[in-house]
Every structure is written in C-alpha cells, then in structure tokens.
Structure 1
Amino acid sequence: MMEERGLSLAHTTIMRWVHQYGPELDKRVRRHLKSTNDSWRVDETYVKVKGQWMYLYRAVDSKGNTIDFHLSKTRDHRAAKRFFKKALQSFHVSKPRVITVDKNPAYPIAIEELKTEKKMPVGIQIRQVKYLNNIVEQDHRFIKKRVRSMLGLKSFRTAKSILSGIEAMHIIKKGQLILRDKSVQNEVKFIHQLFGMAA
C-alpha cells in the first residue's frame, strides 16, 4: 500500500510507530467516549506472548461497549483487582451496579477486597452466569483475530503497546466516540485532530 504511493518503509518502522502511538491513541481516545452503562460483563482470554500464555482481562457493558482491558502475566485475584481498579478510573465508565463474570473464583475475591477498600460500590451485585457473558466473549474475537494475524507478540512490554492500539481502534470502530456523523471519514479526521495533524 505504501509503495503504491511512492513511499518505501521497512516493516520495523511501522512496528515502532505501533509501539509508540498505540498507547498514546488509547489514552487520547478515552476522553472522547460515550459513557458506558452500569451493567458490566467481565472475562479474561488467553494471548500468547513470547511463547507463553498471558491473560487479557476485558470488560464491556451490556450493549457491548468496551469498558477497559488489562494484560497480566497471572490469572488470580490480584490481577483481577488491578484490572477493576484500572477500569473504575476510566473517564467514560459508569460505576457498576451489576458485574457478570464466569465461574473464576478470583473475581468475587477481588470485588470484595475493593468494596472493603471503598473503591467499589458496596451494593454491587455479582452474577456468576457464563451464558450472560457471551457478549464479552464475542468481543474477544476481534482482538484475538488481530493478534493471531501478527504471528505472536514478542515481549510483555510490546504486547501491552500493541494491544492498546488494537483496543483503541476497536473502540472507534464500534462507534463509541462522541461524533455527530458516524463515518469512516469522520473517524480518520478525529484521529488526525487527536494528534494535531492536518486533515
């Protein structure tokens, strides 16, 4: 595609851009997102990093809007707690009324600890019903498809950067931005404005 336009770029240059601008795009996009609702669907999926399985914690609301994500080397209540803390600090996130999770015992422990620390609403309902989490499991597919096409992630640090960019673009594609006219041209224009580029 670049050669068609008379530009010659090494694939390593493009990958450096992804590492640098993926997290930056994620950070800048978050201030322009519609609010999520208070019904969270939380699940983790596996991602291979340098030949080892890591855990990508993800949450969406009941309408499928992305709440947040967190890559972790472990799958325990401490990792779940870090994920919930991160999600609760997002600009566009409504405090949860109900959180639907699978049968992973780490989630109730993490939620109870956060309630004790007064970082999560006390009256929150936890539902451990697997079929209600279909919406987040379906949402995993887009992310995993992108990661699979890259033939693996080479380090934990670069995996976090790449996943930040993939998640940010997924959020944009799902229509979570506050845009008057939802079109590909407006999405491109919005990204240009975020980075101070001429459209």
Structure 2
Amino acid sequence: MIDFKGVHYPRSVILHAVFFDVRYAVSYRDLEEILAERGVAVDHATLNRRVVKLAPLIADRAQARKRTTAKSWRIDETYIKVKGRWTYLYRAVDRDGQTLDLMLSERRDLAGARRFFKWAIGINGVPDRVVIDKSGANLAGLQAVNVILKCTGEGRTVEIRQVKYLNNILEQDHRFIKRITAPMMGFKAFHSAAATIAGVEAVHMIRKGQIAANGASAFQIFAELAA
C-alpha cells in the first residue's frame, strides 16, 4: 500500500487531486481553484508535490498489471519543455496502440535511444520487430541492443524497420500526452516532468483498457492501483 501518513487530507481527496491533474488538461492553479470551489483549500505547490510523489508509484503498478502486449513495437519520441528547454519523451506502443513504456531524456542521441530500448525490453521482453523513424540515433541504439542480445546468448535479434507511415499510430497516441501537458506551460524541473508524465501515461493506459476494470471507472482503477 502507498503510504499516506502525514497528509492533511483524506486519502480519497488526495487521489482525486492527483487523478484530475494527470487526466485533464488543467494547470496546478486551475486545480487549486477547482478544489477550493469544493471546500478543499490546498496550495498549487502542494498539489505539485503530491503528484510528483504519487504519480510514478501508481505508474509502476499500472505497468505491472497491464495486459499482455504484442511483439511488434512502434517507437518514437516527442518534445516536452522543461526549464525553458526542449527535452525528448521516448514512447513505445505495440502494433495495436497499447502502451509499452516511456522515458524522458535530456538528449536525443545514441545513448538516450539505447537506454530507452534496453529499459523497454527489460520491462516487456524482447520484441520480434521494432518500427522506428529515419532517426540515425534510434537505428544505432537498436543495433547496439542487437549486439548485446547476440553476446548474451539470447539466440535471436530484433528485426528493425524504418517505415514512417507504420508509426502513425504512435504519432496519434502522442496527442493525449501533449494535450494534458500543454496547460502546464513547461515543467520547472526534470524529475517533476518525468514523474507527472508517468502518471499521465498510466491514466492513458487505463483509458485504453490495458488494466482489468471489472466494471470500475477510470478513477476507481487509479485509486485501486494506490491501494
């Protein structure tokens, strides 16, 4: 169970606040006003701290509980502004658009691509094939992963395809993340951005039906992940 000791509000109120932030296109000041209208006086900075603390924990549990995904992947990156500078959000979905993983990186280079591919494979297993864009860094990153697979005796490597139109499903999927983060007008810290986006992605997985619902609402599933 996620620890809620020391908080000034009931667990349900905190979870609703975090859920609203990562589900809807609102800023922290908007959320502060929404809660005030409902009799909950909480500063926007406190809301930010709760999201940064709880969102990645819930996201980890969502990853552990997500349904089995396909072995054909689509990988691409989009842009997120942090401290006034563009950073790179690597994201992966399977051929059906189901979320696999994500990673925020300060650079779009070989090291960043290789780190993301290794991380995604560590969580989801080795795919049969991966579709990427024409990025040389992404190609080199996957080739480096294939070298590792050969050296560790996995017995097979990943088929790499660079076909732009096959990644349309992922480019469309980026839109939900961008729509939710846009009102935040850029993040002030890298760790805060990474934590918040992890929560946004977790809710996106819930909306896609990647976590068994048994008739529960999106918020009920979100709260259950925090239990």
TM-score under structure 1 length normalisation: 0.89
Q: How far does the alpha carbon of each residue in 1:130-187 deviate from its partner, in whole angstroms, 9 at most, with x for none? A: 1110000001111011111111111111111111111111111111102333x42xx3
Q: Distance in 2 between matches of 1:112 and 1:130?
A: 18
> Gaps (5+ residues) in structure 1?
none
Q: Does the 8 Å contact 1:42/1:101 carry over to 2? A: yes
What one-letter code is carried by the residue in structure 2 that aligns with 1:108?
L
Which residue of 181, 189, 212 maps to 1:178?
212
Q: 2:100 aligned with 1:67, yes or no?
A: yes
What one-letter code is carried by the residue in structure 2 that aligns with 1:23?
P
Q: 2:110 aligned with 1:77, yes or no?
A: yes
CA 1:177/1:121 → structure 2, altered by over 3 Å: closer, same or farther?
farther
Match in the other structure for 1:32:
65
Identity among equivalent positions (%) equals: 41
RMSD: 1.6
Which residue of 119, 131, 139 maps to 1:108?
139
Q: Does the 8 Å contact 1:38/1:61 carry over to 2? A: yes
Map 1:97-176 onto structure 2 (within 5 A): 97-118=128-149, 122-176=156-210
What one-letter code is carried by the residue in structure 1 that aligns with 2:224?
Q
What one-letter code is carried by the residue in structure 2 that aligns with 1:139?
D
Structure ranking higher in helix proportion: 2
What one-letter code is carried by the residue in structure 2 that aligns with 1:102?
D
SS at match of 2:115: helix
Q: Distance in 2 between matches of 1:98 and 1:164?
A: 25
Q: Distance in 1 between matches of 2:188 and 2:97?
A: 29
Match in the other structure for 2:28:
none
SS at match of 1:89: helix
CA 1:191/1:56 → structure 2, altered by over 3 Å: closer, same or farther?
same
TM-score under structure 2 length normalisation: 0.79
* Aligned-residue offset at 1:193: 2.8
Q: Does the 8 Å contact 1:22/1:165 carry over to 2? A: yes
What one-letter code is carried by the residue in structure 2 that aligns with 1:58?
R
What one-letter code is carried by the residue in structure 2 that aligns with 1:105?
G
Tell which deviates more after alignment, 57-66 or 8-17: 8-17
SS at match of 1:86: helix
Q: How far does the alpha carbon of each residue in 1:99-149 deviate from its partner, in whole angstroms, 9 at most, with x for none? A: 111000112211121121127773421110111100000011110111111
Match in the other structure for 2:42:
9
Q: Aligned pairs, how many?
A: 191
